[in-house]
Amino acid sequence: MTAEQQLVDAALRTWKSNADRVEKFFQPLSEEQLQQEIAPGRNRLIYLWGHLASVSDGLFPLLGIGPRLHPELDAMFVTNPDRAATALPSATELQDIAAEIDRELWRVFSQWSATDWLAKHTAVSDDEFVREPHRNRFSVLLSRTAHMAFHYGQAILVKPRS
């Protein structure tokens, strides 16, 4: 592997290990367990999970891969706070949705070269990118990895009831 490939490989491993621990934590939870709050009066687990899935789903357009797979998640889990949406996906539905998003992203991520990763993301104009070349896909990958860890740290404060 070249140095470039090794640097990308390290970032992909960190993404993957964070995505995997999120999935491992949330996937087994029941409908009832997902209703638990991370702290009194704070977000419920189902909101955190849907939020992570929706933000990951937003990577398809942001990284120029294609349209979102589940645009309906945004209003439920990102643009509105927890408890604002009247209907949320069931635990089983969210299991499938989250796994699908993770799987499809990983299929693309694992094939991209360093050059692909250093291309601009779609929220930056060509002009801006000349001045600010650090606004690339790789930066998005790293900041979204930190975003996953941020909410995972909150989620595991809940001790799931059996």
Binding residues (CB under 8 A) for its own copies: these are 1, 3-4, 6-11, 13-14, 17-18, 38-40, 42, 114-115, 117-118, 133-134, 136, 138-139, 142-143, 145-154, 157
In angstroms, give the least distance from the CB of 25 to its own copies. 12
In angstroms, give the least distance from the CB of 143 to its own copies. 6
Distance CA 143, CA 31 (A): 30
In angstroms, give the least distance from the CB of 39 to its own copies. 4
Considering the complex, state which of residue 13 and residue 93 has its C-beta at the smaller distance from its own copies.
Answer: 13
Considering the complex, state which of residue 97 and residue 155 has its C-beta at the smaller distance from its own copies.
Answer: 155
In angstroms, give the least distance from the CB of 154 to its own copies. 5
- Could you tell me how far CA 29 lies from the centroid of its own chain? 18
| CB proximity list for 137: less than 8 A, separation 6 or greater | 63, 64, 112, 116, 117, 118, 119, 120, 121
Q: Which residues of 7-30 are buried (b: 16+ CB within 10 A; e: fewer)?
A: ebeeebebbeebbeebbebbeebe
